[in-house]
Each structure stands twice: as C-alpha cells, then as structure tokens.
Amino acid sequence: MENFRYFGALWILIMMNTAVLFGRRVYRYLHSFRLISKSICSGRVKNDEFMKESVEKSNFDTYFSWNTNVEEPLSGLSHIGSDNDEKECFSTRRRFFDDARCNAERVIEILRQDGPGFDAKLCLDEMQVRVSNQLVREVLINFLEKLDRTNKTRCAKLGYKFFVWSSCQKNYRHTVNTYHLIMEIFAQAEEFKAMWRLLDEMTENGYFVTARTFNILICTCGEVGLARDLVERFIKSKKFNFRPYKHSFNAILHSLLGLKQYRLIEWVHQKMLLEGYSPDVLTYNILMYTKYRLGNLDQFHKLLDEMCRDGLSPDLHTYNVLLHVLGEGDKPLAALNLMNHMREVGCIPSVLHFTSLIYGLSRAGNLEACKYFFDEMANKGSHPDVVCYTVMITGYVVAGDLEKAHTLFDDMIIKGYLPNVYTYNSMILGLCYARKFEEALSMLKKMESVGCNPNFFVYNTLVRNLCNAGKLAAAHEIIRQMVEKGQYVHLLSRFKRYKRC
C-alpha cells in the first residue's frame, strides 16, 4: 500500500527526479506512450492537451505511480555509531559526511584534469584518500547531476574511470547502489552497451539486481524486442531481488506501470499465465488499470469478474479505478451504489476515491454530478484537498464556467490550501479562454510571488493563447522571462508551431 503514492505534489516530485536522473530519454519515452494513450482517448473529450496531462499527472496516475527513485538505505556506515553517546555519534557521523564531501570535491577536481599528459589514476593513488561508499556516491552523484549534453560522453568516461579505480581500493566494495549510479550516468550519456555490460558484471560478481536496476535498464530499451529480452532476463534471473513483491512478475509489472508501458504489461501478463503464476490483487489492479488505459473496457470488466471468481476481494485501489471508470462513463448512480457497497464491506471511500470519481465525471462533462460528489464528500466528513480542488477547478474551466472555477479557487485559499502549479495553470487557462489576458498575466506574477514556480505547461498555456489572440509582444515577453530564468530553454522550439508566433 505504501508504494502507491497519492499526492500530486509527490508525483510531480517523482517526475522531476526521474527527469533529472534519466534526462531527456525518459521524457521522450514517457511522452511517446502518453501520445499512444492520448490517441486512444482522443475523440472522447477534446480537452486542452496540456491541462489534461497536468491533471492526469497531478491526480489520477499518482494513485498508481511508484516512486522509482527509492534508494536502498545507505550502506557502508555500519562501522560508525557504536558509541552510545548520541551527540558524539552524531558528530562522528557529521564529520564522516563532511570528509566525504570534501574528498569528493578533490577527487572531481583531479578527474577533470584527466587527459593526455595527466594520469588521473596515479594522482588519485597519491591522494591517499580512504575510499568509502559515501565518497563514491558523492562523486558519482556529482557527475550525474552536472552532466549536460555537451559533455555527457566525457562525464561518463570520467565517472567510469573513477568507478573502476575505486573498485580496486583496499576495504572497498561497490554496492548495488553505486552500480545503479554509474548505470544512470551511462543512461544519460546514452552509452547503452556499457550499461548492459554492467548488468552482466553485477550478476557475475554475485550482486542481487533489484526492481530499480530493472527500471534504469527498461528506460533505455527503445525497441519492443529489447524490452522483452530484458523482461525475460529478469524473470529467469536467480539474482533478481524482487522483494517486497510476491514474485518477479509483480515487481516487473509494477515497474512497467510506472513507465506507462501498457502493451508490455499485457505481454508480461500472458507470460506469467503461461508459466503458471497466479495473479493476486496487485496484479489484477495493474492489469485492470492497463486495460482501462488502453481503452479496452470489455477486458477490464472480464478481469474484474475473474478476480472475484478467484476469490480475491477488490481493495481500495481496485475501487479507485472502478470509480474513475464509472465517472468517465458518466454513471453517477452506479458510482453512488459502489460507494455504498464500499462502506458496507468496510472500505470507507476517501478523498482519493472521490477525486478519481470527480475527475472521471468531469471528463464526461457532467459537472453537476461533480459538484454533487464534491459536496457529498464534505457531508461524509472528508475534506477536499488541493488535488481535488484542482480537479474541480479544471472541470469548470474546461466547461467554460470561469466564475465557478474562480469561486472554488478563492474558497480553497480561504480554507488555507496552497494552490499548486497545476491549479494555477488551470486558472490561467480559464482566464485565457475568457480572453482576460491581463488577469492571466497577473496570475502568473502572483504564483511566482508566493513561491510557486511556473513549469513549462504554464508558460506554454500563456504563450499559445497569447499567440492565438495575436498578442505577440506579450507572448514574447513571457518567453523572455522564461529564458531569463534559464528554464526549459531546450523546449523553446515547441513555441514555433504556434501560428504567428
């Protein structure tokens, strides 16, 4: 249960981390899958695409998203902290971390100079530093974070040089985590062959690969064939530590879900059945969500039947998906019945469930039902949160009812909720729809003044709508501000597609 993350902010954080760690490749990857799901959904609700993405990201997908960046606990610290005096222990620890950081800086300085006429390895040897897990992490994380398009190959080369050098040092052994870090560096540098060689090396040296290893690698499998090979390899691997999942299939399915690899999920499911593994509730939840995302509601219902026939009871996540599907199908009465049923079986609907339902209903354009459940939630003693408010506001904006959207926006602030970047984006969009461009621009100023950093969706909403309205000077001013902040410069070309811009 704790693997399922709910809050929008958390999802955004996860997305940001993923983007930082994997760079543009994953972005492209996720984006292409989003396009597939979009083409399936298109024709249903012609929402603004960016807003749709933003709401999906801030809301529904979060229920099934999985923090792919969970690192195993810091290792290599077991030798400290034997002292019972906590203060003493703390300062020892502090000193240890400070030393590692300081040494890491020296190591990086030496590595940078590597080249003809400068033997970095020799220099590192002469430095006589004690190589610890923390030091290796510091150095690799630095390379990973500082790497950019112009020097990615060099970063990978230097990172690997250090990785090999450190593995030869006394009393030091790489951990699964340090392997993951160098793999991520290779992933960013698009050195895929090297990544796969590292996987071989890990297995040969007796390391247990984890769901994280799988995640890093699967992100670089551009072709379906390669992705399937990887899945097979992990299924067969005796060195795959898939805990806390029941079996390797669930670990892989869950990973693929985080990456929205729905076709691959179907394929893995078939394989799982062929090999005689029986699905549990988690498996069913993932599969049902997949069928829903692929627009295959027949199979969605078949799976639900099958699950109940297998004697498995739907859990909170199953109900969550069900409610969303009922919402999108514009079936508020069925949803009401389902919620009553949930209460009878002791699964009390939470804000999460109401939000999923409301989101579905808003996509079906039934704002009246949205409002009913929004109020019903309060009647039942749960209070809407920021995500729920954002979903309602977005629903009103898309339906062209800026006034109601504004009322809710004010309401949430009065109640002490902080609008997030998606709330602001929806409000800005609504103001643009109503051609209140001055207000839209002051909304941008407002969000910045309260410390809510606009993301690319926000800039894009403004630029597109200003361009469409022929307000080129204002659009260019927004672009200038964005560039001045040094953000999203690599996405600048996206603005070119707007007429007159």
Ligand X SMILES: *[C@@H]1O[C@H](CO)[C@@H](O)[C@H](O)[C@H]1NC(C)=O
Binding site for ligand X (CB under 6 A): 112, 146, 148, 151, 154-155, 158
Sequence-ordered strand ranges (E) for 89-180: none
Cα gap 127→58, rounded to integer Å: 48
DSSP state of 420: -
Cβ-based nearer residue to ligand X, 24 or 130:
24
* Residues paired with 210 in a beta bridge: 241
Cα gap 175→292, rounded to integer Å: 39
State the nearest-atom distance from the C-beta of 146 to ligand X, in Å.
4
Cα gap 207→65, rounded to integer Å: 27
Peptide bond into 244 cis (omega under 30): yes
3-state secondary structure of 309: helix
Cβ-based nearer residue to ligand X, 119 or 401:
119
DSSP state of 115: B
Cβ-based nearer residue to ligand X, 154 or 380:
154
State the nearest-atom distance from the C-beta of 144 to ligand X, in Å.
11
**Token pair 């030393």: residue:** 99
3-state secondary structure of 241: strand
State the nearest-atom distance from the C-beta of 492 to ligand X, in Å.
18
State the nearest-atom distance from the C-beta of 58 to ligand X, in Å.
31
State the nearest-atom distance from the C-beta of 148 to ligand X, in Å.
5
In angstroms, the first-to-last Cα distance of the chain is 47
Give the pair of three-digit tokens for residue 232. Answer: 């097979």
Cβ-based nearer residue to ligand X, 189 or 211:
189
State the nearest-atom distance from the C-beta of 320 to ligand X, in Å.
42
**Token pair 């540098």: residue:** 189
Q: What are phi and psi of 210, to 5 degrees?
A: -125, 180
Cβ-based nearer residue to ligand X, 107 or 463:
107
Cβ-based nearer residue to ligand X, 152 or 464:
152
**Token pair 């739907």: residue:** 314
State the nearest-atom distance from the C-beta of 154 to ligand X, in Å.
6
Cβ pair 216, 26 in contact under 8 A: no
Cβ-based nearer residue to ligand X, 155 or 202:
155
Cβ-based nearer residue to ligand X, 109 or 126:
109
State the nearest-atom distance from the C-beta of 151 to ligand X, in Å.
4
3-state secondary structure of 350: coil
Cα gap 99→130, rounded to integer Å: 10
Cα gap 198→203, rounded to integer Å: 9
3-state secondary structure of 240: strand
State the nearest-atom distance from the C-beta of 108 to ligand X, in Å.
8
**What is the CB neighbour count within 10 angstroms for residue 230?**
19
Cβ-based nearer residue to ligand X, 416 or 486:
486
